């Protein structure tokens, strides 16, 4: 089998000025993709803006012989998302790949969290991914080709103290990807989710010395495969970090069914809770109707 390449493909990558996004942009460009490097250039809390983050990555790609163009719009508004996709269309005439990577953090416990700090995480992570994907999806549908990748995290999938806003947004992205995959299936649009564990601006203080084992470059090959033409997977979640790659899934077990004609009471639930909570014999529903 030959090398996986992206010649002729146009990739939009949000939050591509640093960390994971920078690694993705450089990797895809080195393999032939033309890349829109989107980055607002703000701080880890979403404040401020600076064009240098995107410009630096574009210069790196061009210096290595690749093609790239910067974009500085915020993903947190519909207008920003539309502008990001328009940058791809106006510069390269198409969009084939969207990697929703942009994100910020504002950690605090539930009793102390302000509505502003909750809302802005939803705006950037969840709404931001929708605002970029929606206009790109329309183009992909017309072209009968597309690869969309959303970014969740272990905090979103399993929870983490002090990250209610982040976890809510990140789990929301799993649902968004599921619908993208279902609606995109007949148009050759694949949608998946990556749950990276990596050293980035958002995590380096938490990881400390351990961060050296979690370089972004360990995540990039999995991401690159999921947005490649060879990828037939869709509606999936994959975990990646420090050289380990694994599928994560939402399953449904057989459970317990009340006897025909009976409306169960709370004691019946209690008495059958072992069967209700058992994970043996689980299945992985493809959609809500299957569930």
Q: What is the model's pLDDT at position 206? A: 57
* Active site residues per annotation: 166
Identify the band that residue 48 occupies on the pLDDT scale cut at 50, 70 and 90.
Answer: confident
- Distance between CA atoms of 235 and 121, rounded to whole angstroms? 24
Residue 204 has pLDDT above 60, yes or no: no
Out of 155-164, 201-210, 243-252, least confident range: 201-210
Structural domains in the chain? 10-248 (3.40.50.720), 251-291 (no CATH)
Q: What is the model's pLDDT at position 208? A: 57
Q: What is the mean pLDDT of the chain?
A: 94
Residue 233 has pLDDT above 90, yes or no: yes
Residue 109 has pLDDT above 60, yes or no: yes
54's CB contacts (< 8 A; 6+ apart) are 16, 17, 37, 38, 39, 41, 70, 71, 72
- Distance between CA atoms of 187 and 181, rounded to whole angstroms? 10
The DSSP 8-state label assigned to residue 248 in this structure reads E
Residue 165 has pLDDT above 80, yes or no: yes
- Of residues 144 and 210, more confidently modeled: 144
Q: What is the model's pLDDT at position 42? A: 84
Percentage of residues in the chain having pLDDT higher than 70? 95
For residue 79, give the nearest of 36, 115, 128 by alpha carbon.
128
Q: What is the model's pLDDT at position 163? A: 96
What is this structure's pTM? 0.94
CB 249 within 8 Å of CB 284 = yes
Rounded mean pLDDT, 132-155: 98
Residue 207 has pLDDT above 80, yes or no: no
- Distance between CA atoms of 240 and 247, rounded to whole angstroms? 9
DSSP bridge partners of 195? 239
- pLDDT tens digits for 217-226? 999 999 999 9
Q: What is the model's pLDDT at position 251? A: 97
- Distance between CA atoms of 212 and 233, rounded to whole angstroms? 30
Q: What is the model's pLDDT at position 43? A: 77
């Amino acid at each position: 089998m030959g090398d996986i390449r992206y010649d002729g493909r146009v990739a939009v990558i949000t939050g591509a000025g640093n960390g994971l996004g920078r690694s993705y942009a450089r990797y895809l460009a080195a393999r032939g993709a033309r890349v829109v490097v989107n980055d607002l250039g703000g701080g880890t809390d979403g404040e401020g803006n600076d064009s240098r983050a995107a410009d630096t990555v574009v210069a790196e790609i061009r210096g290595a012989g690749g093609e790239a163009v910067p974009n500085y719009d915020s993903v947190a508004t519909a207008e920003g998302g539309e502008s990001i996709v328009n940058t791809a269309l106006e510069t390269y005439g198409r969009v084939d790949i969207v990697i929703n990577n942009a994100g910020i953090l504002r950690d605090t416990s539930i009793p102390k969290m302000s509505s502003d700090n909750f809302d802005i995480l939803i705006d950037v992570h969840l709404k931001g991914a929708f605002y970029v994907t929606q206009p790109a999806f329309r183009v992909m549908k017309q072209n009968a080709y597309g690869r969309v990748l959303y970014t969740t995290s272990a905090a979103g999938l399993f929870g983490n103290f002090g990250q209610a806003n982040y976890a809510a947004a990140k789990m929301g992205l799993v649902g968004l990807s599921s619908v993208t995959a279902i609606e995109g299936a007949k148009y050759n649009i694949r949608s998946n989710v990556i749950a990276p564990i990596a050293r980035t601006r958002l995590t380096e203080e938490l990881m400390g010395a351990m961060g050296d084992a979690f370089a972004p470059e360990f995540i990039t090959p999995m991401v690159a495969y999921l947005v490649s033409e060879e990828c037939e997977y869709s509606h999936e979640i994959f975990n990646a970090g420090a050289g380990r790659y694994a599928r994560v899934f939402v399953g449904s077990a057989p459970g317990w069914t009340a006897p025909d004609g009976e409306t169960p009471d709370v004691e019946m639930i209690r008495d059958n809770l072992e069967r209700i909570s058992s994970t043996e014999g689980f299945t992985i529903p493809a959609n809500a109707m299957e569930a």
